[in-house]
Amino acid sequence: MNIMDNFSWSDRTVFKLRGLYESYGYDQYHTSKFEPYDIYQENRSFLQNKTVISFSDPYGRLMALRPDVTMSIVKSTAPETDLRKVYYVENVFRLDKSTREYREIEQIGIEAIGNKDEYLEAEALILALKTLETISDKYILSTGHMGFVSAMLDACALNDDDNKAALDALRNKNLAKLRKISERSGLSKEWREILEETASICEPASIGITKLKQLSKTDEMDKAVLEIERSYNAINALGYGEKVRLDFAIINDMDYYNGIVLQGYIEGIPRAVLSGGRYDLLMKKFGKPQSALGFALYLGELTRFFTSHAKKGIDVLLIRGDTPIEVALITADRFIKEGLRVSVEKNMSYATDAKKILKIKENGDTEEYIKC
């Protein structure tokens, strides 16, 4: 029996994913749960959830319970670093929007920071796919491109309010709202159709790219389409093409994200379980010259849906009675070495779920326990 079998589903998943990221040359990154509050204050909109738990340290500095790991990795990256590939398994602290309660959320993710390199992007996408594959074979990786979206909106030259409304409409696939925005901004029929067609794209990437090419009207948009196509071709070559969708409802904050953006879905789980993208603009805000991308998997989201992997019972319950404790320890050790899950108790407990109950004899042998 494999010792891994004794671990919970989420522990095993974490081990598998760590192994995956390690094998691609990513190093583990550890960080403190406490961070100075100001970095979050200045970049609040990078956080999907704006509430940060804050408190004062003994020197009166305002500190935060880390709501996000990416920012601390970015902050700790030296501007002269050529390539930094890290993964993390950390808890983050956020406010749950619907229940208005604080939550501690376990995240596992990667960040690849360095000179802009097509290889790194394709590799990160492959890792996202393999991450989802570790959880279930019924998964989809939805990808969009903030460069395409912002080039499209630039060309539409909407005012600030309409720009924001258009992003919301894309995010919620609200075509009627997009049409309203187009009408009140006096957009040409051509651009109105480009906006609406883009919003309804949600197809296997191979089909989506063909559609997108027809919608691309500016150099910036063309550039984005090329980036998408290049990464997609690489993914397809590895046999993951079918799992990738092109989907322009994947919208991350335009102040931080500028390239490919992604969300992972597992059938039966109502929310995205993985999310990330290219965030060169966040790097820039922190004064770092490198380009960067990454993603995180929300383990907390998943654990609730894998309750069938609940804790296993005890294989052997050893009743030690009055046998000396060293004898009991040695006996227990013998069973543990056989790969069994063992519990030692002085007297029989009647609430046990143990598969087998044995009594330890004076000499360390065991005999069947007979209930009195």
Partner 1 sequence: MLNIALPKGRLGDAAYRSFADIGYACDGIEEENRKLIFEDTDLGVRYILVKPADVAAYVEHGAADIGIVGKDIIMETEPDVFELFDMNIGRCFVAVSAKNDWRSDINRPLRVATKYPNIARRYYAEKNMQIEVIKLNGSIELAPIVGLSDVIVDIVETGKTLEENDMRVYEKISDSSAWLIANKSSYRFKKERIDAIVRALGGEI
Query: What minimum distance in Å lies between the beta carbon of 333 and partner 1?
Result: 47
Considering only 113-121, 169-177, 324-332, 335-343, which stretch makes contact with partner 1 by CB under 8 A?
169-177
Position 161 contacts partner 1 (CB under 8 A)? no
CA 66 – CA 88 distance, rounded (Å) = 13
Nearer to partner 1, 120 or 274 (CB): 274
Could you tell me the sign of the dihedral formed by the alpha carbons of 340, 344, 348, 352, in that order? negative
Q: Angle 146-156/219-237 helices, nearest 10 degrees?
A: 160
Q: Which residues inside 85-114 make contact with partner 1, applying CB under 8 A?
A: 98
- Write out the two tokens for 122: 């394709």
Considering only 27-35, 85-93, 264-272, 282-290, which stretch makes contact with partner 1 by CB under 8 A?
264-272
Q: Which of 269, 274, 292, 299 binds partner 1 (CB under 8 A)?
A: 269
Query: What minimum distance in Å lies between the beta carbon of 268 and partner 1?
Result: 8
Alpha helices in the chain (DSSP H): 9-23, 38-42, 70-75, 118-135, 146-156, 160-171, 175-185, 189-200, 205-215, 219-237, 280-285, 299-303, 325-337
* Secondary structure tally for the chain: helices H, strands E: 13, 16
Position 172 contacts partner 1 (CB under 8 A)? yes
Position 211 contacts partner 1 (CB under 8 A)? no
CA dist 3 → 6, 18, 316 (Å): 6, 17, 16
- Write out the two tokens for 77: 């990256």
CA 341 – CA 231 distance, rounded (Å) = 46
Nearer to partner 1, 58 or 268 (CB): 268
Helix (H) or strand (E) holding 273: none
Position 177 contacts partner 1 (CB under 8 A)? yes
Nearer to partner 1, 97 or 312 (CB): 97
CA 97 – CA 111 distance, rounded (Å) = 26
Nearer to partner 1, 177 or 213 (CB): 177
Considering only 61-69, 149-157, 241-249, 349-357, which stretch makes contact with partner 1 by CB under 8 A?
241-249
Site string for partner 1, 180-199 (x = CB under 8 A): ----------------x---
Residues lying near partner 1 in the complex (CB under 8 A) are found at 98, 138, 140, 142, 172-177, 196, 200, 202, 245, 247, 249, 265-272
